[in-house]
């Protein structure tokens, strides 16, 4: 609850123009928890709850959530799969049943009016490092984000040891 409250406090400060930006260091990130259930050691989906708070309190129309945790943020995806006002981009391992490995492939693009607002980048290898992430960021994330023109950008990231990135 403290982690979730901390993220909400931070976005409130940003939305009230008290700070220009911020970085909430909270554990667990919460991106596996769905709107109605916990998942993957996550009780609350901090980013999803903060995004909903901003939508409900500030009437923000466009929120970008960029998730570059090694795991797919299936709870964030579920929370906004039908919401055309939230662009969710997730870069994650997806090979050989890597957790959670459900609905994290590139065919899950959003539904109804939100089609195209869910972008999964499923890495099919463990050999992903700085060059791949830089390419992804400059060739996909930034152009799509620029076109979407969000009112607020939220993200989740998990420290990934180099041994996990570069080992075979």
Specify the higher pLDDT residue, 31 or 143.
Answer: 143
Taking the C-alpha atoms of residue 142 and residue 162, their distance in angstroms, rounded to an integer, is 25
DSSP class of residue 160 equals -
Task: Name the residue ranges covered by the structural domains of the chain.
Answer: 2-166
Supply 103's token pair.
């609905």
Taking the C-alpha atoms of residue 64 and residue 11, their distance in angstroms, rounded to an integer, is 13
> Alpha helix locations (H) across the chain?
2-15, 46-58, 74-80, 130-136, 142-148, 162-166
Q: What is the CATH number of domain 2-166?
A: 3.40.800.20
Between the alpha carbon of residue 3 and those of residues 24, 40, 69, the distances in Å are 8, 16, 17
**Is position 32 annotated as part of the catalytic site?**
yes
Q: What's the pLDDT tens digit per position in 111-153?
A: 999 999 999 999 887 778 889 889 999 999 999 999 999 999 9
Pairing, β 118-123 against β 86-93: parallel
Please check the confidence at residue 163 and state whether its pLDDT lies above 70. Answer: no
Separation of first and last alpha carbons in the chain: 37
163 burial (CB, 10 Å; 0-12 / 13-18 / 19+) is exposed
Cis bond leading into 98, ω under 30°?
Answer: no
Taking the C-alpha atoms of residue 91 and residue 73, their distance in angstroms, rounded to an integer, is 9
Predicted confidence at residue 142, as pLDDT, reads 97
- Point out the catalytic residue in the list 32, 71, 72, 94: 32
pTM: 0.90
Q: How confident is the model at residue 15 (pLDDT cuts 50, 70, 90)?
A: very high
């Amino acid at each position: 609850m403290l982690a979730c409250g901390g993220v909400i406090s931070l976005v409130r400060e940003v939305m009230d123009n008290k700070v220009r930006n911020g970085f909430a260091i909270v554990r667990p990130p919460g991106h596996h928890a769905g709107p109605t259930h916990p998942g993957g050691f996550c009780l609350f989906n901090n980013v999803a709850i903060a995004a909903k708070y901003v939508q409900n309190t500030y009437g923000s129309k466009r929120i970008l959530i960029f998730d570059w945790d090694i795991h797919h943020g299936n709870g964030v995806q579920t929370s906004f799969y039908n919401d055309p006002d939230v662009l969710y981009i997730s870069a994650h391992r997806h090979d050989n049943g890597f957790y959670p490995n459900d609905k994290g492939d590139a065919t899950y693009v959003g539904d109804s009016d939100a089609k195209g607002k869910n972008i999964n980048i499923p890495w099919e290898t463990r050999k992903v490092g700085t060059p791949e992430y830089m390419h992804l960021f400059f060739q996909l994330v930034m152009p799509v984000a620029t076109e979407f023109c969000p009112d607020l950008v939220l993200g989740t990231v998990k420290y990934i040891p180099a041994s996990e990135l570069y080992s075979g």
